[in-house]
Amino acid sequence: MAKMWSGRFEKESSKLLDEFNASLMFDKELYKEDIEGSIAHAKMLNKQGILTDEEKNKIIEGLRTIEKEIEEGKFKFDISDEDIHMAIEKRLTQLIGDAGKKLHTARSRNDQVALDFRLYVQKNNKIIIDLLFDLIKTLLDISKKHKNTILPGMTHLQHAQPISFAYHMLAYASMFKRDIERFNSSYERNNYSPLGCAALAGTPHPIDRNFTAKELGFKAPTINCLDTVSDRDFALEILFNIATLMMHISRLAEEMIIWSSYEFKFITISDDYATGSSIMPQKKNPDVPELLRGKTGRAYGNLISLLTVMKGLPLAYNKDMQEDKEGVFDSVKTAKISIKILNEVLKTMKINEENMYSAAKIGHLTATDLADYLVQKCNIPFREAHFITGRAVALAESKNKDISDLSYEELKSIDNRIKEDVTQYLKLEHSMNARDSFGGTSLNQVEKQIDYFEKWLNGFQRL
């Protein structure tokens, strides 16, 4: 069967060209969006007197039949149809005759694919936001239970100061909150309809782009058709947003891998989400967080790939842009399953509080507290206090103790200006709760942060 665009050609295209040129095997993912856009277009053409009521009804009925055929696996995808748009239009004409040939009036595949792809991206912006909401709720549930669970806060992966596990989880809640805001911002910025732009310059037909924009849930039609058919910023944005999200997920995954090791034993990953070794029967591998960490690379690659495709394209549409979809489909799929499984791993993991506390007793985490105490309570200049604290650390090391376990007598032997209440200031609990500045790790501040996130979740206007 001749291709719909083949009127000016004298020879049929080669099979090799069909294979190289076609996008149907991956852009069939957009069948729902294509049908949705076509129904809106048919309604507009009818409203403008370009289609009769009978033609409109036949088209809509035929499109719904095609949608059902695809969902039931009865639709025949033929690579010679090139893409999902031509495949559906050809089948529509087979079903309803000449009325099907009128659907493409005042429309080009250029604005059609721009519409379908944008609808897909906008839909998945919403889905990812909803999944991230659930993830933050899980982090808040964990935080509520572990406001007083102490673990070593680290810099350079070295023990630094005592913090609560709740505080650590709330740091990730902060990251995922920013991710939600990015996806939300992208949705709002790109919520404009390409339909009706035709090939690049609009159409001479008396169409109503505002009608189709409203019908499809957009804020308004795009303002410039030349830009619209060649714009893939919306696709780049979701790729960037996913890449950043996956980076956040990867950082948490990395910590979970470390925490689940024998060296740390801070957490135990549920058997539901761990795997074993084919040769070592004692092994319990953190494969889920490892895969989460690994999948971040493909999200980065998809972003760089599309940036590279777009970087040198003249206006307007170019066939290079057929390479825009597979990476987006892959990143969207990766992001959705990654958020879901991370959420389940967090819900089911066991938190080993005693091991966290024991680790916080290693590395002299309250050394800074001694220096602060010497400045505040003993009126000693900070540089001198720093030196005295260094001597206290050396003394603790010589006695195979943590600085928090030194007695008053031991500390006073270093400097007689040290007062008897010093040992209270060196306790892990005191150190954690002393950091009561806004955004700090104290119980008071952690409770405020939990309250803040709960209010933000409840007040956020979902798309």
Rg (CA), the chain: 31
State the catalytic residue, choosing from 6, 185, 261, 277.
277
- Per-residue pLDDT band for 9 (boundaries 50, 70, 90) equals low
Going by pLDDT thresholds of 50, 70 and 90, the confidence category of residue 275 is confident
7: pLDDT strictly greater than 70? no
pLDDT greater than 70 at residue 53: yes
pLDDT range class, residue 10, cuts 50, 70, 90: low
**Mean pLDDT, to the nearest integer, of 302-318?**
97
Distance between CA atoms of residues 301 and 87, nearest Å: 30
- What does the pLDDT look like over 74-115, one tens digit per residue? 999 999 899 999 999 999 999 999 999 999 999 999 999 999
User: Three-state DSSP class for 457?
Assistant: helix
* Average model confidence (pLDDT) across the chain: 95
Q: Which residues contact 203 (CB under 8 A, 6 or more apart)?
A: 106, 107, 196
275-305: buried (b, 16+ CB within 10 Å) or exposed (e) per residue? Answer: eeeeeeeeeeebebbeebbebbeebbebbeb
**pLDDT at 11 (0 to 100):** 61
Spell out a b/e string for 78-100, using b for 16 or more CB atoms within 10 Å of the CB, else e. eebbbbbbbbbbbbbbebbeebb
Instruction: With beta carbons less than 8 A apart as the criterion, state whether 67 and 7 touch.
Output: no
Q: What is the model's pTM?
A: 0.93
pLDDT, position 5: 46
CB-based contact 161:365 (threshold 8 Å): yes
The secondary structure of residue 10, as a DSSP letter, is S
> What is the per-residue pLDDT for 309?
97
Instruction: Kindly state the average pLDDT of the residues 358-368.
Output: 94
Would you list the DSSP string of 77-115?
--GGG-SHHHHHHHHHHHHHTHHHHTTTTT--HHHHHHH
Distances (CA, A) of 84 to 5, 66, 136: 15, 12, 37
pLDDT digit string (tens) for 397-416?
Answer: 999 999 999 999 999 999 99
Given a cut of 50, whether residue 62 has pLDDT beyond it is: yes
Indicate if 277 belongs to the active site: yes
Residue 380 CA neighbour count, 13 Å, CB half? 20
- Determine the pLDDT at residue 317: 95
Instruction: Point out the least confidently predicted range of 10-14, 50-54, 235-239.
Output: 10-14
Per-residue pLDDT of 322-351, as tens digits, reads: 999 999 999 999 999 999 999 999 999 999
| pLDDT, greater one: 277 or 216 | 216
Using an 8 Å Cβ cutoff, are 102 and 133 in contact?
no
- For residue range 180-205, list pLDDT tens digits in order: 999 999 999 999 999 999 999 999 99
Q: Give the CA distances from residue 300 to residues 182, 292, 343, in Å, rounded to whole numbers and listed in that order.
A: 17, 13, 22
Catalytic site includes residue 270: no
Among residues 156, 278, 398, 437, which one is catalytic? 156
Go through the chain and tell me how many residues it has. 463
